[in-house]
């Protein structure tokens, strides 16, 4: 293990300034692959702690299907980092990231453009500054080449640390190698995600709990019962809704196993009623009859604060998708924490494969960060980069890694990545449903959310002190 001496450093978090001693012990070599949102945050956390780190980025030698430039942390689509209101889950996460020493969020704030309550950024100025700060950092070596499976094996066989942060468009050879590390069925190359709702916004006067023929847990599923008129109106809206076209690089054959509901409905108005929405084995307690059709909801987490719409994959455009889905009985006021998407996306089934520190259970030294872990979005991906970086700083100092408490935004994301509930594991943004319900659980949404935020803040402040504040040297 190489030992290095480093000069005195100052750690600048959000409102936190920590002076580090003149020198401390540094562990084995660390390599991070992917100069996207997660990769830059991960190397920044390490480098700011005085730890040498190598970052591989394949652009511009080789590009992805979505990136346009050779800049690090490039925004491939929208220029929004979502809400910066600290009283929203997205704002809460940003506050936590800044306290952990984020590079992405303060740089985004510096180059913000008007975006209402959202943090919208000038994508070029933002990415140029990130690139310059990484390129010029004393402790970061940036290598512009495609990282290969052979390099990964060599690093791990030397007992060094490797962080894969290659994102949704991971290059094919590395993706194939990663699949061999996960027993392949635990790595996905495409997303066909059904929409998910916040459980507290479901109308329980209409929706009833029952498993088909009362099998299994009896009330594992919630059922949204359609009568004939409701079903017909839903099908009409579904068939009229605009759909997202497949991108050139998205091969339709991957989606054959999970046809979108609008495509099924286009084969005949009753096809959903005889297929994905069949009402057999179910009885609506309000009418004591079998409904005309039923859409089932399945819990997405242990606490049952989130439910996904079973077999409801869709390519409807997001605006109209919400309107159509709110025509489902019981979901008229539902808040969708995730809308349906079907797109190219490389991600690991984290609950089966990695520890709560995002290290492979069966390959010590191999970590993942970013969207590949099963979070979704620029900010959440960056958050996972800082997380791995800060945990590796602790490991380098021979301190135990520390798990985030369940109640804060970090704890909620890690809980999503660790929750063993049987489900179709899919990437998720931070949202109200991921933050656990308070024990009092008041009926009023605003009161419930205020308690969630208070619990998150107090839990986070204890954790951040432990994570960053332990004595070093």
Ligand X SMILES: Cc1cc2nc3c(=O)[nH]c(=O)nc-3n(C[C@H](O)[C@H](O)[C@H](O)COP(=O)(O)OP(=O)(O)OC[C@H]3O[C@@H](n4cnc5c(N)ncnc54)[C@H](O)[C@@H]3O)c2cc1C
* Residues binding ligand X (CB under 6 A): 33-39, 56-59, 64, 66-67, 76-78, 146-147, 165-171, 174, 370-372, 376-378, 381
Place of tokens 């449903």: 433
**Least distance to ligand X from the beta carbon of 41, Å?**
8
What is the dihedral sign for C-alpha 147, 151, 155, 156?
positive
For ligand X, give the closer residue by CB, 41 or 198: 41
- Pairs from 441-449 (Cβ < 8 Å, separation ≥ 24): 445/200, 445/201, 448/200, 449/87
For ligand X, give the closer residue by CB, 279 or 385: 385
Residue 213: C-alpha distances to residues 219, 227, 281, 282, 396 (Å): 11, 20, 4, 6, 55
**Least distance to ligand X from the beta carbon of 421, Å?**
23
**Least distance to ligand X from the beta carbon of 378, Å?**
4
For ligand X, give the closer residue by CB, 143 or 233: 143
Where are any strands of DSSP class E within 152-304? 161-164, 187-193, 196-198, 208-209, 222-226, 293-299
Q: What span, in angstroms and rounded, lies between the C-alpha atoms of 400 and 404? A: 13
**Least distance to ligand X from the beta carbon of 81, Å?**
7
Tokens (6 digits) for 447: 């009161």
Side-chain half-sphere exposure of 38, counting CA atoms within 13 A: 28
**Least distance to ligand X from the beta carbon of 33, Å?**
5
For ligand X, give the closer residue by CB, 296 or 350: 350
**Least distance to ligand X from the beta carbon of 443, Å?**
32
**Least distance to ligand X from the beta carbon of 203, Å?**
30
For ligand X, give the closer residue by CB, 64 or 350: 64
Q: If you count them, how many residues does the chain have?
A: 473
For ligand X, give the closer residue by CB, 39 or 330: 39
Residue 72 near residue 370 (C-beta atoms within 8 A): no
Q: How many CB atoms lie within 10 A of CB 386?
A: 27
Q: What span, in angstroms and rounded, lies between the C-alpha atoms of 235 and 295? A: 13
For ligand X, give the closer residue by CB, 376 or 437: 376
Q: What span, in angstroms and rounded, lies between the C-alpha atoms of 334 and 322? A: 9
Residue 264 near residue 276 (C-beta atoms within 8 A): yes
Among 185, 168, 167, 184, which Cα is nearest to 176's? 184
Q: Please, what's the b/e burial string for 260-285 (b: 16 or more CB within 10 A of its CB; e: otherwise)?
A: bbbebbeeeeebbbebbbebeebbbe
**Least distance to ligand X from the beta carbon of 151, Å?**
9
For ligand X, give the closer residue by CB, 223 or 321: 321
For ligand X, give the closer residue by CB, 349 or 437: 349
Helix (H) or strand (E) holding 448: helix 445-469
**Least distance to ligand X from the beta carbon of 122, Å?**
15
For ligand X, give the closer residue by CB, 200 or 371: 371
**Least distance to ligand X from the beta carbon of 417, Å?**
13
What is the dihedral sign for C-alpha 140, 145, 149, 154?
negative
For ligand X, give the closer residue by CB, 328 or 375: 375
Tokens (6 digits) for 243: 């759909």
**Least distance to ligand X from the beta carbon of 128, Å?**
15
Q: What span, in angstroms and rounded, lies between the C-alpha atoms of 70 and 58? A: 9
Q: Please, what's the b/e burial string for 364-380 (b: 16 or more CB within 10 A of its CB; e: otherwise)?
A: ebbbbbbbbbbbbbbbb
Tokens (6 digits) for 455: 């619990």
**Least distance to ligand X from the beta carbon of 168, Å?**
4
Q: What span, in angstroms and rounded, lies between the C-alpha atoms of 207 and 332? A: 11
Where are any strands of DSSP class E within 317-464? 336-338, 341-348, 366-368
For ligand X, give the closer residue by CB, 150 or 219: 150
Residue with smallest beta-carbon separation from ligand X: 36
């Amino acid at each position: 293990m190489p030992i290095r001496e480093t000069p005195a450093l100052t750690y600048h978090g959000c409102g936190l300034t920590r002076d580090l001693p003149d020198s401390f012990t540094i562990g084995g070599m660390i390599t991070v692959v992917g100069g996207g949102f997660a990769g830059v945050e991960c190397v920044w956390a390490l480098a700011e702690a005085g730890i040498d780190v190598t970052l591989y980025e394949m652009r511009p030698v080789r590009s992805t299907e979505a990136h346009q430039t050779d800049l690090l942390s490039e925004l491939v689509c929208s220029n929004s980092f979502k809400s910066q209101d600290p009283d929203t889950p997205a704002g809460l996460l940003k506050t936590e990231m800044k306290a952990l020493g984020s590079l992405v969020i303060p740089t985004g704030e510096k180059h913000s453009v008007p975006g209402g309550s959202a943090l919208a950024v000038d994508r070029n100025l933002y990415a140029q500054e990130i690139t310059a700060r990484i390129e010029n950092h004393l402790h970061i070596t940036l290598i512009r080449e495609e990282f290969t499976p052979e390099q990964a094996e060599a690093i791990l066989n030397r007992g060094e640390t490797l962080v894969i942060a290659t994102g949704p468009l991971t290059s094919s050879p590395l993706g194939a190698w990663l699949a061999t590390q996960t027993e392949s069925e635990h790595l996905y190359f495409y997303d066909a995600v059904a929409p998910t709702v916040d459980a507290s916004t479901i109308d329980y006067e209409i929706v009833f709990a029952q498993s088909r023929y009362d099998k299994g847990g009896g009330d594992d599923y919630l059922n949204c019962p359609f009568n004939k008129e409701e079903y017909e109106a839903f099908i009409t809206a579904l068939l009229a809704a605009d759909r997202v076209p497949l991108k050139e690089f998205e091969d339709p054959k991957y989606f054959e196993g999970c046809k979108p509901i609008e495509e099924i409905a286009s084969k005949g108005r009753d096809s959903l009623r005889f297929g994905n929405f069949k009402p057999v084995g179910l009885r609506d307690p309000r009418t004591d009859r079998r409904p005309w059709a039923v859409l089932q909801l399945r819990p997405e987490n242990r606490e049952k604060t989130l439910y996904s719409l079973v077999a409801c994959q869709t390519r409807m455009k997001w605006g109209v998708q919400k309107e159509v889905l709110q025509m489902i009985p019981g979901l008229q006021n539902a808040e969708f924490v995730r809308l349906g998407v079907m797109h190219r996306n490389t991600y690991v089934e984290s609950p089966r494969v990695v520890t709560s520190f995002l290290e492979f259970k069966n390959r010590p030294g191999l970590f993942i960060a970013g969207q590949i872990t099963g979070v979704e979005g620029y900010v959440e991906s960056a958050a996972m980069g800082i997380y791995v970086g800060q945990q590796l700083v602790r490991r380098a100092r021979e301190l135990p890694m520390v798990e985030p408490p369940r109640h804060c935004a970090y704890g909620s994301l890690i809980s999503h990545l660790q929750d063993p509930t049987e489900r179709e594991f899919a990437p998720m943004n931070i949202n109200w449903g991921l933050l656990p319900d308070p024990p009092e659980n008041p009926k009023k949404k605003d009161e419930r959310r205020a308690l969630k935020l208070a619990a998150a803040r107090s839990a986070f402040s204890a954790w951040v002190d432990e994570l960053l504040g332990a004595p070093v040297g």
